[in-house]
Structures are given as C-alpha cells and as structure tokens.
C-alpha cells in the first residue's frame, strides 16, 4: 500500500513541477529553468526545517518565495531572447544552480551528527514528517491539498483577465504589444509565478524523499517539467495532471518490468501521443466535446 501512496505523492509533486512550466508556456516561451527553481525550493525548505527548526508550512512559503524571487531575477535577462536561445539560456541557468548545490556545504553539529547540505553527498536528515509522526497517507493527503489549491488558483487565473493577457502574449506578441500590453512584464510575471510553484513543489519533494542531491535537479527533470504541459495541452490545467499520470504512473512505474527497454518505448509513446494529439491530450476540441456530453446527460436526466 505504501508503494501506491508513494506513487501518488510523486504524481502530486510532478504535477506542481508541470504547472510551473505551464505558466511560462502560456506566454509562448519554452523555459528549462524549472528544475533550478525546484532545487532552490528543495534546499531552502530543507534547511529551514532541519537547521532552523521551522514548522513545515512557513518553510514551504519562504522556499516558494525564494524560488519566485530567483525566477523574477532570471526572467528579466533571459526573456530578452527567444526560441532556441531562451532554451539554451535557461538550461545554462538550471545547470548553474545544480553545480552550485554540488559545491554548497553548510552543516551544523547536532549531538554526534553533522546535519545540513554537504556538497556532492547531498542533503540528508530531512526528517520532518517521520519526526512529527506523519504517516505516508498523511503526507500524500497534504501534498494533494497543496496541488488542488494550486490547480484551483491557476484555473481561476485562466478564466480571469490575467489568463487572457498571458494567452494573448503567447499567441501574438506584436498584436498584444500594439494593444498596450507590456510584453516583458507579462513574461517576467509568468516566469515568477512558475518559480513560486516550482519552489513549492521542490520543498515538498525534499521532505517526502528525506534526502536530496544535485543530480536530481538536472536536465532530465527540466525536460519532464516542459513535457507535462505540452503533452497534456495548454487549454486547461487538468491536461498537465493527465500527462503526469500518463508518464509517471504508466510509462515509468507501470512499465518498470520492461527494464531498459522501457526507455525506448517511453520515447516512442511520447512521439505517438504528440502525433495523434498535437495540441495535447486535452485540447480545446476535447473540452467542447466533454461539455456537449455533459449537456446531453443533463437533458436525458431531465
């Protein structure tokens, strides 16, 4: 049972990671910096609870804020470039963050132990959940409360003027600028929101894994972050959730019995999904069809 609860935890945290990239993709930008923001949130939250003795919720809030500030600082120079140059710039940033934590050491003595980040060996002893008597079920429920809250906030944002502005910039920058929209401010805001969400996800990740190290925050994680919303579609936040369940639940865990052959099938299935559903698993047409089915059901019930 703990295995399945752990899998649901992974899906929840990766949903936050995907949603962080979703915000940036709405503006038409492809950023591979999300893994870096995720790492900032993980290390900051872990240091606050382990070294500072903070309660979890304030630690997560500060970690999210720290990642958001970093994202805002990175957004101004990075978003001046477009296309492949932006991908290269944000990839370089993510690798710089990873290498920073590879060399970062800050430990305190607690009895006979030294606790805190220790360079390439990583950051161990992030034991907030077990030390406070949290069960695997409790951790899973807490993660999903956070995920649902973030999804609800983004769902509301999508249907507000903010979402309309983000999508306008993503569809046609020149038209958006001619209508009086500050394109740079919108892009930086999207990057900042993405950083806040990624930092929150990173803080949760650090506490449910209890041990983090720099190799976990590499290009592969950044690629997953972008793949989720692209595969799920940008029409709705629920597409990202469906994509995470498909990749983490089915391709990675469901096909684990295939061993290394799973890697070949993984790429093939992703390509097939993008060919069959180029606008994502849940696109605008899918949403319209679902609404029609619901209306028919309501009429039949009446």
Residue spans per domain, the chain: 2-218
Query: How many residues appear in the chain?
Result: 302
* pLDDT in the model for residue 202: 96
Q: Choose the weakest-confidence range: 121-130, 145-154, 280-289.
A: 280-289
44 vs 7: CA distance, rounded Å: 24
Look at 295 and 110; give whichever has higher pLDDT.
Answer: 110
**Residues 24 and 37: beta-carbon distance below 8 Å:** no
Q: Choose the weakest-confidence range: 27-31, 33-37, 130-134, 145-149.
A: 27-31
The arithmetic mean of pLDDT across residues 274-282, rounded, is 64
CA-to-CA separations, 262 to 4, 252, 266, 271, 272, in angstroms, rounded = 20, 8, 6, 14, 15
Task: Dump pLDDT digits (tens) for 203-249.
Answer: 999 999 999 999 999 988 998 898 898 888 888 888 899 889 988 88
Residue 47 CB: number of other CB atoms within 10 A? Answer: 22
Residue closest to 75 by CA, chosen among 194, 187, 231: 187
The arithmetic mean of pLDDT across residues 82-95, rounded, is 85
What is this structure's pTM? 0.89
Phi-psi region of 218 (alpha: psi -120 to 50; beta: other; left: phi over 0): beta
CB neighbour class for 275 (10 Å; exposed up to 12, middle 13-18, buried from 19): exposed
Does an H or E element contain 154, and which? Answer: helix 136-158
* pLDDT in the model for residue 8: 92
**Residues 33 and 221: beta-carbon distance below 8 Å:** no
162 vs 186: CA distance, rounded Å: 9
Quote the mean pLDDT of the chain.
86
Residue closest to 7 by CA, chosen among 107, 130, 139: 139
* Band of residue 184 on the pLDDT scale cut at 50, 70, 90: confident
Task: Dump pLDDT digits (tens) for 3-32.
Answer: 788 899 999 999 999 999 999 998 888 888
Task: Dump pLDDT digits (tens) for 94-137.
Answer: 999 999 999 999 988 877 788 889 988 889 889 999 999 999 99
**Percent of the chain whose pLDDT exceeds 70:** 86
* Band of residue 85 on the pLDDT scale cut at 50, 70, 90: confident
273 vs 271: CA distance, rounded Å: 5
């Amino acid at each position: 049972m703990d295995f399945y609860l752990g899998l649901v935890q992974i899906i929840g945290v990766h949903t936050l990671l995907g949603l962080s990239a979703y915000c940036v993709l709405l503006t038409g930008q492809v950023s591979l910096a999300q893994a870096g923001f995720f790492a900032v949130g993980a290390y900051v939250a872990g240091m606050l609870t382990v070294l500072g003795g903070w309660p979890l919720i304030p630690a997560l809030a500060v970690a999210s804020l720290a990642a958001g500030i970093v994202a805002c600082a990175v957004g101004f120079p990075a978003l001046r470039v477009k296309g492949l140059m932006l991908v290269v710039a944000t990839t370089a940033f993510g690798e710089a963050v990873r290498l920073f934590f590879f060399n970062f050491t800050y430990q305190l003595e607690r009895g006979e132990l030294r606790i805190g980040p220790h360079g390439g060996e990583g950051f161990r002893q992030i034991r907030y959940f077990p030390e406070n008597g949290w069960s695997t079920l409790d951790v899973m429920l807490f993660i999903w409360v956070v995920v649902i809250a973030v999804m609800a906030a983004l769902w509301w944002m999508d249907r507000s003027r903010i979402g309309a502005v983000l999508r306008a910039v993503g569809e046609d920058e020149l038209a958006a600028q001619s209508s009086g929209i500050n394109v740079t401010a919108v892009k930086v805001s999207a990057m900042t929101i993405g950083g806040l969400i990624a930092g929150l996800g990173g803080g949760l990740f650090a506490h449910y894994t209890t041990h983090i190290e720099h190799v976990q925050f590499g290009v592969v994680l950044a690629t997953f972050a972008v793949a989720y919303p692209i595969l799920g579609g940008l029409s709705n936040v629920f597409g990202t959730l469906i994509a995470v369940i498909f990749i983490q639940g089915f391709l990675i865990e469901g096909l684990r019995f295939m061993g290394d052959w799973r890697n070949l099938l993984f790429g093939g299935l992703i390509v097939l999904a993008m060919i069959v559903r180029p606008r994502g698993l849940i696109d605008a047409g899918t949403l319209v069809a679902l609404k029609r089915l619901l209306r028919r059901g309501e009429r039949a019930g009446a």
